[in-house]
Amino acid sequence: MEKATTPQALLQIIEKHEKARDPNAVRISVCGGTGCKASGAGPLIEAFRKEIADRKLDVEVISTGCHGFCERGPLVVLHPSGVFYQKVKIKDIPEILDKTLAKGELIARLQYRDENRTVYVKEKEVPFYKDQERIVFAMNGHIDPTRLDHYLSMQGYRALATVLGKHQPGEIVEMVIKSGLRGRGGGGFPTGLKWKFTREAEGDKKYLICNADEGDPGAFMDRSVLEGNPHLVLEGMIIGAFAVGASEGYVYVRNEYPMAIEHLQLAITQARELGVLGQNILGTGFSFDVKINRGGGAFVCGEETALIASIEGRRGMPRTRPPFPAKKGLWGKPTDINNVETWANVPYIINRGVDWFTSIGTGDVSKSPFGGSKGTKIFSLVGKVNNTGLVEVPMGIPLRKIVFDIGGGIKNSKKGRTFKAVQTGGPSGGCIPDAYLDHPVDFDELSKLGSMMGSGGMIVMDDHTCMVEVARYFVDFLKEESCGKCTPCREGLRRMSEILNRMVRGQGKTEDLAVLEDLGAVMKDASLCQLGSTAANPVLSTLKYFRSEYEHHIATGLCDGRQCIDLIRYHITDACTGCTICAKKCPTQAITGENKQLHKLEQSKCVRCGVCYDACNFNAISILSGTEIREKLGE
Amino acid sequence: MVEITLNGKKVEARDGETILDLATREGIHIPTLCHHPAVEPTGACRMCLVEFSMNNGPKKITSSCTLVAEPGMVVETDSERVHKNRKSVLELLMARVPGNPELEKLAKESDARLAPRFPEMKEDCILCGLCARVCEEVVGAKAIFFTNRGTELDVGGPFLESPEDCIGCGACVYVCPMDCIKMEQNAETRKIVKWDRELPMRKCEVCGYPFMPNFQVLRFKKWADMPGDYFKICADCRK
Amino acid sequence: MVDLTAVDKIIEGYHGDKTAILAILQDIQAVYNYLPREAMMRVVEKLQVSTTQVSSLATFFHAFSLKPRGKNIVTVCMGTACHVRGAPRVLDEIERQMGVKNQETTPDGLFTVETVNCVGACALGPLVMVNGNYHGNIATSEVTEVLDQYRKPAGQA
């Protein structure tokens, strides 16, 4: 790659690559994201390349970043036609080349069909993609994240060339404030204001950090952005560094994300070669360089003061704010911290302008960046929903649209499963019930519902999810992940965990609910950091919306979700056809019965693993709980 | 100087002064556990909570030991919300360390529950970390610190073993608000019981009093570049 | 005795930079599969840091193991998405088959069972990772099949 020595020269390089990209060229995009790789995309890409080389075809096979629809992987998209194939295997390759590529014939078994067996031909027609608005993810699926020329051919580094060629740092800060961009990592604080504070803070040296310590269980958008388009994040960071006056940057990324680290490292090297990173960037005298820091597996390090402590080589224990990192951050110097998705929005705001960005989303940010939620947000839609994966949607979209249109509704709805709640905001978020599904999704609305945006985890729960157990899960998660420094968080979580673990075993007491609420109150008010002050949200929100489930656990030992293993019994009903499948699969031989005879389940041997329930094709296994156990089993 | 409103009264704070220091100067009592003027404040125990707001913004609860006075700050040290939170913190601490006189004294002062609603733990330490902070910031030995995290958090020597860098100075014994770090000493040895650290003593060549652990002498010489014979006699005989 | 030449090499790679201590410990674990005490003491000596700093870091970050681990590391993802899709049942089944609990190693040293709070492959839950290889959408009844792949003697895997 030739080195650009002026902003003008960089623009010329970008234009050369843009022109070189033929939109009508025949290309095969194979998703090489972690999800698809887990389903075998790695060998598939190699096999595609080999087959095409063997046949001497003029077709480029691109190993792209994550397309988002991970559950259906490996995903393959043929360009320019846009034909979309899912769950593609190596043995399908010759047929794809012979039929679809050569003759335009479609292969039915590789096409996506929804629950109603409707077939969708092109990627953008698939319901999972149709209602999405892909900005941050626009290039994922089109470019090879290890190829700088691909990034350049899609306007890559154009925003940086504009900024360094035409603007003063203060103008960029103003632009980002006016755009209303708010932090995608959880807090929703206006990015431009953070930049302003860092820019105005006194310090001989300033730092910039990209928070890629995606610790929220159930969220993986930062991983996909870093894996799929690392230059986009870097470009955002370089623009930010120019705006705030930072000379050194860090990307703090989870060690569990090896591909993200590898792609980012490569992008840093390529960016230095291009002359957009390092000393005297594009000959403007502005210098900035980036280092990668690997996180050690601590959810609390997503909190900015804990993250800074960790970069400094100390335990990730938060300290009280103020002073905020913008004034006193890494090594005591002014430091700006933004999350991966936030950085990735920056180049688009520069390229397309503030008016375009504010046209997407909710509220009015013309007077204050707190006035609304602008742009898009990526959610990781997972759990008991048909289409799982990453979805990028405009702020303000109703929850129902995400869960039922994009997500395709509840998994196994034909077996009677129904929607119960959607959990947003990660472990510190809350569970939102059906009654609020038509609420628009943005920073402020989710807070009003007692949940939060968080980093964008969206976990769908069906009627076979116990909300007390969900609360217990999050409390036990946070009990381990808390740093333990302050009393309300450490001791509060300990006590909540004791109570909830008793409750899921059927040993709850009536007074427990008031104690849980008292604990929630002190944790919320008095904890030292955000982890502690939001740690009670899962308990408080489930107590608010699903209080009866708690009461049932306490009063009659009824687990509404039929999930708490001490409170349920599996029971074979008269619908049993004697097919023997449950008896064969039972790991503890608790089920006996002759072929075509009603089977019997020995309760004393049953470990309640649920294998029989999953295996039964005749709905002949019921899960009893509460008074049903005595009524049906006489226990 | 910075003007703030403290319990409804306009007061002047020194530049960089914390609300805890300011309140103490103004004769307002705020209970503390993990605070000590010799070390940097940390805000861990959450006893010294106060309610504050900036420029008529939302009222928040935070630790007064870490809150530095800023112009336009309005602080309440005595509001209902402050007391409610302090009481809850005390209840949690008392369930962790039952029967501790210091905690019981604070509970009586603030009218908190004397019988926590939780199963009693048999701990003697509230994990305020003052011992570790003094060991690092004042003594410079860095012999004890935190281990593990979350509800498993503990304080002590590396890997919770006897700390080999401990010089037996007893600073941790002195500052512990729970009085749970005990020191035992006889003519030959000194032992910091909680850390299981036992050190042979050096006797004064003049009066014969065992005035300092040998290991402490070695470390002091290394840190301060003292003359070889400086620690042969005790401080009293040196006068 | 643990051979510490790899530790010295790692520390040299960071030019003895104290602030790189977390990265150094991660690299050491990558070589030894855990953090041997001797290796940590070497870090204390070479970087001139306190033993408490190393112990406090090694026990704070859950990615570190202070005990030797088995030949194969079986990591069950306990993230929310995996949890609601039955990860606890998968973990139960793995523990039952292995005869060891979470964070323990089988007596033959072949497997260590661990959990992780999300690996970011949430759409594929429940998910089990063996030596970094992903096995997504695992049913409890498929556990045996997955583990058997790693039971085979070397060369046949």
Best interface-test mutation with B: which of A474, A483, A487 has the largest number of B CBs within 10 A? A487
* B 118-177 → A contacts, CB under 8 A: 118-119, 126-127, 129, 146, 148-153
User: Does residue C156 carry a pLDDT above 70?
Assistant: no
A376 or C116: whose pLDDT is higher?
Answer: A376
Amino acid, res. A297: G
Query: CB distance C122–A312 less than 8 Å?
Result: no
Residue C66: predicted pLDDT: 94
pLDDT tens digits along B150-167: 999 999 999 999 999 999
> Could you tell me if B125 and B97 are in contact, meaning their C-beta atoms sit under 8 angstroms apart?
yes
User: Does residue A95 carry a pLDDT above 90?
Assistant: yes
Fold of A156-357: Rossmann fold (3.40.50)
> Nearest CB to C121: which of A34, A258, A315?
A34
pLDDT tens digits along B175-215: 999 999 999 999 899 999 999 999 999 999 999 999 999 99
How high is the mean pLDDT of chain B? 94
Residue of A nearest to C119 (CA): A256
Averaged pLDDT, B16-42? 96
Confidence of residue B127 (pLDDT cuts 50, 70, 90): very high
Averaged pLDDT, C21-32? 94
Classify domain C72-148 by CATH architecture. 3-Layer(aba) Sandwich (3.40)
pTM of the model: 0.92
Query: CB distance C81–A382 less than 8 Å?
Result: yes
Q: Is A575 on the interface with C (CB under 8 A)?
A: no
The distance between the two most distant Cα atoms of chain B, rounded to a whole number of Å, is 66
Query: CB distance A320–B68 less than 8 Å?
Result: no
How high is the mean pLDDT of chain A? 94
Q: Is B95 on the interface with A (CB under 8 A)?
A: yes
User: Does residue B230 carry a pLDDT above 90?
Assistant: no
A29-43, A176-190, A337-351, B218-232: range with lowest mean pLDDT: B218-232
CB-defined contacts A:C, below 8 A: 161
Element (H, E) at B238: helix B235-238
Place of tokens 């707001």: B53
Q: Which class in CATH covers the domain with range A23-130? A: alpha beta
Q: Is A293 on the interface with C (CB under 8 A)?
A: yes
Q: Is C50 on the interface with B (CB under 8 A)?
A: yes
pLDDT tens digits along C79-91: 888 888 889 889 9
Q: Is A481 on the interface with C (CB under 8 A)?
A: yes
- List strands edge to edge, sheet with C111-116: C111-116, C72-77, C128-130, C133-135
CB burial class (10 A; 0-12, 13-18, 19+) of residue A609? Answer: buried
Fold of A468-555: de novo design (two linked rop proteins) (1.20.1440)
Sequence length of chain B is 239
> Could you tell me if A327 and A334 are in contact, meaning their C-beta atoms sit under 8 angstroms apart?
yes
Backbone angles phi, psi at A72, to 5 degrees: -95, 10
Whole-complex ipTM = 0.95
Q: Which class in CATH covers the domain with range A565-633? A: alpha beta
Residue A321: predicted pLDDT: 85
For chain B, domain boundaries: 2-110, 130-238
Q: What is the DSSP string of A8-49?
A: HHHHHHHHHHHHH--TTS-EEEEE-SHHHHHTTHHHHHHHHH
What three-state secondary structure class fits A442? coil
For chain A, domain boundaries: 23-130, 156-357, 375-465, 468-555, 565-633
| Contacting residues of C for B144, CB less than 8 Å apart | 52
Q: Is C55 on the interface with B (CB under 8 A)?
A: yes
What three-state secondary structure class fits B123? coil
Q: Which candidate, B60, B53, B92, B74, places its Cα nearest to that of B2?
A: B74
Residue C153: predicted pLDDT: 59
Fold of B2-110: Ubiquitin-like (UB roll) (3.10.20)
Residue C155: predicted pLDDT: 44
Backbone angles phi, psi at C5, to 5 degrees: -60, -35
Fold of A375-465: Ubiquitin-like (UB roll) (3.10.20)
For chain C, domain boundaries: 5-60, 72-148
> Nearest CB to C120: which of A223, A312, A383?
A223
> Could you tell me if A65 and A229 are in contact, meaning their C-beta atoms sit under 8 angstroms apart?
yes
How high is the mean pLDDT of chain C? 90
Q: What is the DSSP string of B26-95?
A: TT-----SS--TTS-----S--SEEEEEETT---EEEETTT-B--TTEEEESS-HHHHHHHHHHHHHHHH
Residue A330: predicted pLDDT: 96
> Nearest CB to C59: which of B142, B144, B147?
B147
pLDDT tens digits along A96-143: 999 999 999 999 999 999 888 899 999 989 999 999 999 999 999 899
pLDDT tens digits along A449-494: 888 888 899 999 999 999 999 999 999 999 999 999 999 999 999 9
